[in-house]
Amino acid sequence: MFTMTKPESSSVESTDRRRHRRPWLSHVVLILCCIATVAPLLWVLRTAVSTPASVFDAGFNPFPTDPTWQNFPSAFSLAPIGRWFLNSAGIALAITIGKLCLTILAAYGFAFFHFPAKNLILSLAVGTMIVPNIVTLVPNFVTIADLGWVNTPQGVIVPSLAFCGFGIFLLRQAMLQIPAELLRAAEVDGAGAWTVLWKVVLPITKPAVAVIAIMYFVWAWNSYLWPLTVLTDNETRTLPIGLQFMASDLEGSQLWGELMATTLLTIVPPVLLYIAAQRAIISTFARSGLHG
Amino acid sequence: MTASAFIRQRHRRSTATGLALVAPVIALMVVFIYWPFAHSVGLSFTEGDFQTQTFVGVDNYIALMRDSDFWQSLITTAKYIAVLVPLVVAVPFVLALMVLPLRKRHTKAAYRTILFLPTILPFAVMAIAWLWIFNPLGGPLNSLLEVVGLEPRRWLDSPTTAFWCIIAVSAWKLIGFNTILYAAALESVPAEYIEAARLDGAGRWHLARHLYVQLISPTILFVVVTATIFVTEDVFDAINVLTAGGPYGTTENILYYMYEKAMVFFEIGPASAVATIATVVIVAITWLQLHMARRHVHYD
């Protein structure tokens, strides 16, 4: 039985609604959930540093019996992993920088300027968050094919730049919190729209911009369906796509050490960014669900 | 004075600047998100490849109605919704109720940090880790079963278990995220409400069922809608890596069916017809959820 209140508590105690009747039970359940959450990661780690023999012979043992780095060079010799890593980094950086610029300009425009049909245009922009992938996939591939962009980085990057709805929504909210006195002071000093953005708005909204930049990078790094569709040539693939083809090639030979070593490399960038900014990221998302 | 009052004062001369600021991203959104809506409907009445298409009327739709694989993918999508949505809506609610009363802020933060983790990991890449976990030969799951004395199984090759593997991986991805959404919503419930209900003699279950559910109903609705979109869309990554829609199409959702038609068989017209039907179905389900919610969701 899970519980968070203590109905029979005295009036003094009862102001503390965060009272547990059986806290240990909650902890047991939560710890089990946390173990289930990190278990796949532990297994990636454990297999990535296991020798081919100990990958299979260890029974159920979450810790490597005799750790080795040999899977990493071995994986690099099996597939162009360095190349895929660079493709991923280049594409993710280009998408992040492009989307960030577009998001900052648009959020600034929506927050501080008046123009016809502004509310309609704003809901169109934010509404892109719920447009199903299933509709955009084929028509966008047709467009990319017309432009001759199949198998090119720009084929992945340019359509991805359109998905700024989430960032515009968040950053506009942050910008609306800026006290008007600051903006008026800048105006009085004769600052133009551009100067106000650089000197007043961006410095104040830096935390929101940082979270949006990190999420844009993580999404671009993790993205799967669109790069899978556009990048058909092994040399042009991003890391997640290359890794998946590597997995289907190697599944027959059961080279799990090499596969998990590559998996580990692929998840390192998002995990590092998460560690660096987890509080800001979590609170941003937690707030985004509050009002539906 | 707030920023919005400020803009009211200076709006006369800022029209052109404002439009210029939003124009680039709006142009991209029209070209790559909104125009494809119309384009997709147009393509669904044609036959051909990526370069040239000829008009064939409603033939693609008629062919789909007769295609048992299409119906199976729709039924499988419905099964995903029926199993996964209740699971990832209810379990996180219980977990959030457990997180809520914890007193130590660091303990809370630690649970939150770990539970959020799958949200930022690449789902398709983690699916490869799950491929290893489910591996029949020496995979961690079968090793564990062997230690406990149970029979190892070919999890992803059996029509009875493959579907549940996809469900498990999706639940792994979503439960932590939803728990954090709920926990944030529950924390924002004013303590006086709980107090008032308790003074009226409300028990724990009563509190959870009536008060909390009602007070955080916007968040519950948000979770229902996003979970539904997840099973029709994002679960594609797991399906493609773990089962490729098999065995016997038992794990193939509507997006996977469309993807195969378009990218494996290059049947652009039929694929677009699937996209059009799927969009109508997704919009209808979302509309239904929002409509049903109107009676039960309380925004204040």
Q: Which of B26, B114, B146 sits opposite A37 (nearest CB)?
A: B114
The model's confidence at residue A18, banded by pLDDT at 50, 70 and 90, is very low
The H or E element that residue A100 is part of is helix A81-112
Nearest CA in chain B to A115: B15
Cβ of A240 within 8 Å of Cβ of B11? The answer is no
SS3 content of chain A, % helix, strand, coil (to 5): 75, 0, 25
What pLDDT is attached to residue B245? 87
Q: Which residues of B touch A214 (CB under 8 A)?
A: none
Residues in chain A: 292
Facing residue for A270 by CB, picked from B18, B122, B254? B122
Rounded to the nearest angstrom, the gap between the alpha carbon of residue B131 and the centroid of all alpha carbons in its chain is 21
Q: Could A4 and B204 be called an inter-chain contact, meaning their C-beta atoms sit closer than 8 Å?
A: yes
Q: How many CB atoms lie within 10 A of CB B15?
A: 14
CB pair distance less than 8 Å for B128 and A263: yes
What are the tokens at A116?
Answer: 């016809």
pLDDT < 70 stretches in chain B: 1-13, 202, 204, 298-300
Phi/psi of residue A232, each to 5°? -100, -15
Predicted local confidence at residue B148, as pLDDT: 87
pLDDT of residue B199: 76
pLDDT for B291 equals 83
Task: Please say whether the beta carbons of A184 and B4 come within 8 A.
Answer: no
Asked if B95's CB is within 8 angstroms of A29's CB, the reply is yes
What is the least distance, in Å, from the CA of A197 to any CA of chain B? 11
Top pLDDT among B299 and A257 is at: A257
Closest CA to A232 of A151, A138, A141, A146: A151
Answer whether residue A218 shows pLDDT above 70. Answer: yes
Nearest to B279 among A108, A134, A263 (CB): A134
Q: How buried is B236 (Cβ within 10 angstroms: 0-12 exposed, 13-18 middle, 19+ buried)?
A: buried
What CA–CA distance (Å, rounded) separates A222 from A228?
12
Question: What confidence tens digit (pLDDT) does each residue in A260-288 have?
Answer: 999 999 999 999 999 999 888 888 888 76
CB atoms within 10 A of CB B216: 27
- Which chain A residues are within 8 Å of B263, Cβ to Cβ? 141, 229
Selected for mutation to probe chain B from A282, A283, A287, A288 (highest B CB count within 10 Å) is A282
Per-residue pLDDT reduced to its tens digit, B127-144: 999 999 999 888 889 888
- The answer to whether the Cβ–Cβ distance between A55 and B4 falls below 8 Å is no
What is the average pLDDT across A105-132? 90
In a 10 Å sphere around its CB, with 0-12 CB exposed, 13-18 middle and 19+ buried, how is residue B103 labelled?
Answer: exposed
Please answer yes or no on whether A5 and B204 come within 8 Å at the CB atom. Answer: yes
Position B4 scores a pLDDT of 58
Kindly report whether the peptide bond that precedes residue B247 is cis, defined as omega within 30 degrees of 0: yes
For position A9, what pLDDT does the model report? 37
Whether residue A3 and residue B204 make contact (CB cut-off 8 A), yes or no, is: yes
Q: What is the CA radius of gyration of chain B?
A: 24
